[in-house]
Amino acid sequence: MAITPSALLAALSADHAVSGAELARRLQVTRAAVWKQIEQLRELGAPVEAAAGRGYRLAWPLEPLDAARIRDGLDAATRKRLAELSVHWRIDSTSTELLRRASTASGIEVCLAETQSAGRGRRGREWQSPLGGNLYFSLLRRFDAGMAQLSGLSLVVGTAVVAALADCGVAEVGLKWPNDVLADGRKLAGILVELGGEFLGPCHAVIGIGINLRLPAAACARIDQPAIDLASLCRGKVPSRNVLAARLIVRLVDALDRFAAQGFAAFAEAYARCDLLRGRDLRVFAASAVHEGVGAGVDERGALIVRHGKSTTHYDSAEVSVRAA
Ligand code: BTN
């Protein structure tokens, strides 16, 4: 009988070691098959440790993503708004999956995965997606108004992520324009908004969110900027992934409905409360020059305002990247 990686992972524990022979007996496969699958789990980034001659154990307790538990965490109104909630063991990218589905989707769709083989970040970067510890989450929603009306959307998503984290007891979190979620000056979560459809007519947004809950050292070393996970931020008391996923859905569905009706103006105050760049000395990297100034909030479209002496400039996120000086 073939052994599935999820069944093997479920048979392991963080409390005690389980021997290869015991795993083979429980899963009704050979010890060689167990060994081979353990190696594959490790390659995917699962925290499987060898326990000095006693078999294998997990570096931390794993809570598998579970669509039923996520649905249980939704209020009735949000549950009704959700056309599809899919949880994958392994996928190329949850956002790529929803982009594939965008032309036929009838309502709001959410896709999660335990690991991604081609996780994507902003500006063509790779998003590290080790198995079993983090959240890889995407949501698809249609908008009647057209892409022209969606400026500020990624900032709105940032405020929803901060609110969902606060719902789970994670408070010391802010936003670095346009939408990096930072804690202790390091990146805790990333947001990638991809739009499709008509500029003036109906369009759709695929909102991809990656949240570091447990970032193994090997994955952390491959990230080209300082990163942090909830395990270190919350001193080991990591929120449930299923509860956090549910809170993300609730906060996002609500925020996107309000954004569709009222635009970015309805979020200006919420964004200002999370804005980590206001009052900071900044370097703004444009195509051909670097501008220095002081962060002065965002305008009604969500563009970054930077004060240079007595004048101000408004920067769109597509044109520049920004760093605290
Ligand atoms: C960033 O560069 O900060 C954005 C990162 C977005 C990562 C998430 S993980 C879930 C979804 N699927 C992807 O391939 N990317 C987004």
pLDDT at position 325 over 80: no
Residue type, 60: W
Q: Which of 88, 95, 222, 244 to mutate to test the pocket of ligand 1 (most atoms within 8 A of CB)?
A: 95
Measured from the Cα of 189, ligand 1's closest atom is: 3
Summarised one tens digit per residue, pLDDT across range 33-54 is: 999 999 999 999 999 999 888 8
Residue-by-residue DSSP string for 19-68: -HHHHHHHHTS-HHHHHHHHHHHHHTT--EEE-TTS-EEESS------HH
* Tens of pLDDT, residues 139-181: 999 999 889 889 999 999 999 999 999 999 999 999 999 989 9
Distance of CA 258 to CAs 174, 264, 266, 312, Å? 21, 9, 7, 29
pLDDT at 170: 96
Give yes or no for residue 71 having a pLDDT over 80.
Answer: yes
Last residue of a domain, one of 13, 31, 58: 58
pLDDT, mean of residues 72-101: 97
Q: Which of the residues are catalytic?
A: 122, 187, 323
Does residue 88 line the site of ligand 1, with CB under 6 A? Answer: no
Q: Does residue 52 share a domain with residue 24?
A: yes
Q: Which atom of ligand 1 is nearest to the CA of 191?
A: 4
Q: Which atom of ligand 1 is nearest to the CA of 127?
A: 7
pLDDT at 130: 95
Query: Sign of the CA dihedral 240, 245, 250, 251?
Result: positive
pLDDT tens, residue by residue, 237-271: 899 999 999 999 999 999 999 999 999 999 999 99
Mean pLDDT value across residues 188-196: 96
Residue 165 identity: L
Query: Residue 139 is part of a domain; what is its CATH number?
Result: 3.30.930.10
Q: Within 10 A of 76 (CB to CB), how many other CB atoms are there?
A: 7
In short, whether 178's Cβ falls inside 6 Å of ligand 1 is: no
Which tens digits make up the pLDDT trace of 103-131? 898 899 999 999 999 999 998 999 999 99
Residue 295's domain spans which residues? 277-324
Q: Which tens digit of pLDDT belongs to each residue from 269-285?
A: 999 999 999 999 999 99
pLDDT at 187: 96
CA of 211 to the centre of ligand 1 (A): 9
Q: What confidence score (pLDDT) does residue 179 get? A: 87
Q: Percentage of the chain surpassing pLDDT 90? A: 82
- Give the residue from 237, 254, 272 where a domain finishes: 272
**pLDDT at site 1:** 64
Structural domain total, the chain: 3
94 and 139 within one domain: yes
Specify the DSSP element, H or E, that contains 205: strand 203-211
Q: What is the CATH number of the domain that holds 43?
A: 1.10.10.10
Substitution site in 98, 127, 179, 191 for ligand 1 pocket (most atoms within 8 Å of beta carbon): 127
Tell me, yes or no, whether 169 and 252 share the same domain.
yes
Question: Is the same domain home to 165 and 218?
Answer: yes
